[in-house]
């Protein structure tokens, strides 16, 4: 089973939507394997957003991500990376489909509720960036047979 990263962003925390976002992932059947609140630093944001660090809007994104602590989450499930990324919706909340997390809660490109890993490779890298190995837990979900068929797990 795949593991993936979600960052619940400062705007989401300020708006009191933490539980709502996590609830949607749990209702889908994804397993929560790690959860913690952290204050992001310039160093970690420069590493995490290295692919856009040269863009003129990078300073604004960094400031928004440092506005208050974030919650980093590790989720596990079959195809978890793509499932979580699809549940988030497109980056711009105004363009995200209703029913997606961004489509239901965001009107912005910058204040777009969550970050999700976009590939298995980025999920592995990002999880190592935000979690120590001992902060990610593997445990048996007692109701797993009601989420997946026996030939899927």
Interatomic CA distance for residues 118 and 135, integer angstroms: 22
CATH for 80? 3.30.70.141
- Residue 85: CB atoms within 10 A of its CB come to 18
Q: How far is CA 37 from the centre of its chain?
A: 13
CB 129, CB 48: distance < 8 Å: yes
Exposed/middle/buried for 87, CB within 10 Å: 0-12, 13-18, 19+?
Answer: buried
Task: Select which of 48, 51, 85, 115 is catalytic.
Answer: 115
Structural domain harbouring 107: 2-146
| Rg, the chain, Cα only | 15
Q: Kindly state whether residue 55 falls inside one of the protein's structural domains.
A: yes
Q: Catalytic residue at 115? A: yes
141-145, Cβ contacts within 8 angstroms, sequence gap of 24 or more:
141/31
What's the whole-model pTM score? 0.95
How confident is the model over 124-147, as pLDDT tens digits?
Answer: 999 999 999 999 999 999 999 999
Q: Kindly state whether residue 153 falls inside one of the protein's structural domains.
A: no
Q: Kindly state whether residue 151 falls inside one of the protein's structural domains.
A: no
Q: Quick one: pLDDT at residue 153?
A: 85
How confident is the model over 76-90, as pLDDT tens digits?
Answer: 999 999 999 999 999
Domain count of the fold of the chain? 1
């Amino acid at each position: 089973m795949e593991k993936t990263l979600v960052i619940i962003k400062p705007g989401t925390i300020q708006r009191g939507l933490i539980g709502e976002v996590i609830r949607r992932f749990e209702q889908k059947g994804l397993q929560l394997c790690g959860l913690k609140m952290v204050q992001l630093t310039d160093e970690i944001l420069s590493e995490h957003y290295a692919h856009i660090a040269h863009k003129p809007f990078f300073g604004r994104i960094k400031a928004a991500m440092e506005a208050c602590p974030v919650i980093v989450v590790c989720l596990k499930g079959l195809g978890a990376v793509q499932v979580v990324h699809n549940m988030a919706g497109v980056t711009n909340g105004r363009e995200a489909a209703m029913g997606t997390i961004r489509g239901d809660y965001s009107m912005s490109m910058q204040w777009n509720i969550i970050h999700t890993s976009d590939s298995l490779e980025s999920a592995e890298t990002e999880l190592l960036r935000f979690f120590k190995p001992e902060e990610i837990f593997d445990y048996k979900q007692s109701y797993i047979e009601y989420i997946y068929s026996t030939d899927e797990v």
